Amino acid sequence: MRKDLLTDTMQPKKELVRIVIDKEKNVSVDPTGKKPGRGAYVSLDPSKIKMAEDKKVLERSLGTKIPESFYKDLYSYVDHQKARKELFGDK
């Protein structure tokens, strides 16, 4: 179980995606959950990603400015994962 940064609820790790910031202040999506660095978990709900961008939730949590392009990439990743889950079920 991990805490979803956007909804402030505990959810299974499989239901979330990890965002990680490394020592060089690079922010990236961590689908494996094993990249080194400080991580934050967010829901696999595309509507929540837009909310996170508007409220700067990830910026506050990770302590760095996050470019708009990252949010676009994150939205695409989350949207793809959600569609994949709907097609193939929970594996």
Q: What is the pLDDT of residues 71-87, one digit of tens each?
A: 999 999 999 998 988 88
Q: What is the CATH number of the domain that holds 16?
A: 3.30.1230.10
pLDDT band at 67 (very low <50, low <70, confident <90, very high): very high
- Structural domain range at position 26: 2-88
Q: What are the Cα distances from residue 87, in Å, to 1, 76, 84?
A: 24, 16, 5
Query: Rounded to two decimals, what is the model's pTM?
Result: 0.86
- What percent of the chain shows pLDDT beyond 90? 73
Kind plus residue range of the DSSP H or E element containing 1: none
Burial bucket for residue 54 (CB in 10 Å: 0-12, 13-18, 19+): exposed
pLDDT of 90 higher than 80: no
The total of structural domains in the chain comes to 1
